[in-house]
Structure 1
Amino acid sequence: MTQLSSTASTCAAQWKMWLVKVFSVIYFPAVCAAQGPQNVPPTPTLKLLSPWLDVFENETVMFRCELENNEWMFTWYRDNNRVTYTKDPNLEDVQSYLNITSVTRSHQGGYACKAISEENSENSTGFSNTVNVTVYEKTPQPRVSKVPDFNPMYVGETVNFTCKVHVSSGWEYQWYKDGQKLSDTSETISLHLGLAHQGEYWCKATRGEKTSTDISAKIQLNILEIPSLKPVTPWLDVFPTESVKLSCGMVI
C-alpha cells in the first residue's frame, strides 16, 4: 500500500512538472510575441536630398530623417556629436529636415539622426544610418585636352577638345575661343576645321547656382591651308620644245 502511494505521488509530481513545461512553452512565447515589438522603437532612415556627397564651400546640403509616422521629434548628429543650431547660422532644422544652407569645411563628417516620441520624451530611437559628406575647400581646375594633339593642323581635318573635372560630378561646361563664349556646352566639342577655327581655346565648369571653377589651361590651335599644285598650260601631255607652266596655291 505504501509502495502504491509513493508511486502515485511520483506520478502526480511528474504530471505537474509536465504541465508547467507545457504552460511555459505556450504562454511565455505568446506574451513575448504580444509585448516585445511594442517596446522596440523603430529605426529612422536618413536620406540625402541634395544631389552630391562631395560638395564645395557655399553649396547647399539637405537631409531628411524618415519614420513611418509623424509623431516624432528629431535630433541630428555629426560624427556622433549633437548638432547645435544656435551656434551655426548655416543650419536650418525644419521638422524632419536638416538644411545646411552654405557649406563650410566644418560641416564635413558623418551625419545621422535620432527620433524622440512627442508623447513620451523618454521613448527615443537608436541612430539612423550614417551619410558621409566630404567638403572641398577650393573648386578644382578643369583639364582641357585636344585629340589629335598636332599643331598646326590643316583645313578639312577634325579635332576634338575635351574639358573634364575629375572631382565629384554634375558639372556643366562652358567653352571659350579667344575670350568669346562658344554655343556648345558639352564636355567634348568636335570641330571640322576651317581657317576661322584658328585661335586659343579654354573652358570652365559650373554646377548649380553657387559653384564655378577657374578656367582651364589654354590651348593654341594653328591651322594651315593645304597646298595645291595646278597646271596653267592647257595640256598635260606635251612634246619636246613645248613649255609647261604650273601654279601652287592654297585651298580653304
Structure 2
Amino acid sequence: MGLSLLRVLSLFLLNTLLSCGLTEYAELTFEPNSTTLYSGEHVDLTCHMREANVSEWYYEFKWNDKPLVPITPSNVLRIPELTPDRNGDYQCIAHHNRSEESKQSNRATLSVSAHRPRATVRASRTSIPVGGSLTLTCSVEESAGWSYDWFTRSPDAEETAIATNPVHNSLSISQGGSYWCRGRRTHSDFFSEKSHVHHIDRTLSNRSFVVLQHNWTQIFSGETISVRCEIQGGGDTHGEYWCKARADWYSSTEWSEAFQLRKASGCGPELVHM
C-alpha cells in the first residue's frame, strides 16, 4: 500500500510540474503571420511569455543558433528589408531580470522568397447578366496576411483606385469594365505585383434582330442584299447572319437569333428564311 501511494503521489507531482511548466514556456511568433515572406518586406519577431510578466524578463533572439542582437528588454524585434539569406530557424530565450531563470521558445522556420509575389484575380462568371452582378476574387500565392486594393481603367486608359478591403478579398460589381487587384501586407506598405487585367462585359436588356434591308420575299443569284441589325429599345449597327450591339466597350446585347440564307440550286431564286 505504501509503495502504491508513493507512486500515485509521484505521478501527481510530475504531472503538476509539467502542466505548470508548459503554461510558462516562451513562444516565438512572426508578424506578418506567415512562414513565407518576401525580399524587401520586414518581419516582427515577438517573444510571448504567456502568463509571465513581460517586463520582468530580458530577451535574446537567435537565428540558426546565432545571436541576432544583444540581449534586450523588449520582447519584439523587427528585421527590416528581408533578403533570402535570412532563411532559417529563429528562436527566443527569456532571462529573468532578478534570478537565473531562463525560458526557451519554440523554433520557428522562416522562408524568404527573392521574388515579389503576383496577385491573381478571378471572376465568378464570364459576364454580368441583365440586372445582375458578379464577384471578383483576389488572392496572393503561397502566403497569408494580405489586404487587397482594387483598380479599374476607363476606355481612355485612365486608372482609378476603387476599393481597399482589409478583411475580405472579394469585390461585387454590376458595371462592365477592366479590373485588376493588388495585395498589400496588413499594417504595412509592402505590395504584391498587380494582377493581370480582367475584362468584364455587361449584358444589356435590349434585344437584337437581323432583318433584310429590303422587304423582299425572294432574291436571285447575282443580286446583292443587305442585312441590318435592329436593337429593341434604340440604337443600330450592321450585322451578318446574327449580330449583337455594344453601347460601349464593356456593355453589349445578347446575340440575336441566327439569320439563315439557303441558296437555291441552279439559276433559280435564293430563298430567304428568317
TM interval, shorter chain, is 0.5 to 0.7
Are the structure 2 counterparts of residues 124 and 183 from structure 1 closer, same or farther at C-alpha, using a change threshold of 3 Å? closer
Q: Mind listing any 5+ residue stretches in structure 1 that lack a counterpart?
A: 1-25, 27-32, 87-92, 230-246
Write the deviation string for residues 91-115 of structure 1: whole angstroms up to 9, x where unpaired.
Answer: xx53152512313323332222335
**Corresponding residue for residue 45 of structure 2:** 62
**Corresponding residue for residue 34 of structure 2:** 53
- Structure having the higher strand fraction is 2
Q: Equivalent of 2:109, from 112, 127, 132?
A: 132
Mapping for residues 1-252 of structure 1, pairs under 5 Å:
44-48=25-29, 50-54=31-35, 55-56=37-38, 57-64=40-47, 66=49, 68=52, 73-79=58-64, 81-85=65-69, 94-102=72-80, 103-115=82-94, 125=102, 127-150=104-127, 154-178=129-153, 179-183=159-163, 185=165, 186-192=168-174, 197-207=175-185, 208-228=187-207, 248-250=231-233
Are the structure 2 counterparts of residues 145 and 117 from structure 1 closer, same or farther at C-alpha, using a change threshold of 3 Å? closer
Count of matched residue positions in the alignment of Structure 1 and Structure 2? 186
The normalised TM-score by structure 2 is 0.54
Q: What displacement does 1:171 show?
A: 1.4
- Structure having the higher helix fraction is 1
Identity level (%): 17
Write the deviation string for residues 167-219 of structure 1: whole angstroms up to 9, x where unpaired.
Answer: 32221111111121114635222223xxxx23211111112223111110111
Write the deviation string for residues 225-246 of structure 1: whole angstroms up to 9, x where unpaired.
Answer: 33348xxxxxxxxxxxxxxxxx
Greater C-alpha Rg: 1
Are the structure 2 counterparts of residues 250 and 160 from structure 1 closer, same or farther at C-alpha, using a change threshold of 3 Å? farther
Relative contact order, CA 8 A, sep 6+: which one is greater?
Answer: 1
CA distance in 1, matches of 2:172, 2:123: 10
- The residue matched to 2:143 in structure 1 has which SS? coil
CA distance in 2, matches of 1:146, 1:117: 54
Are the structure 2 counterparts of residues 68 and 136 from structure 1 closer, same or farther at C-alpha, using a change threshold of 3 Å? same
CA distance in 2, matches of 1:117, 1:184: 44
The normalised TM-score by structure 1 is 0.58
**RMSD value over aligned CA atoms?**
3.8
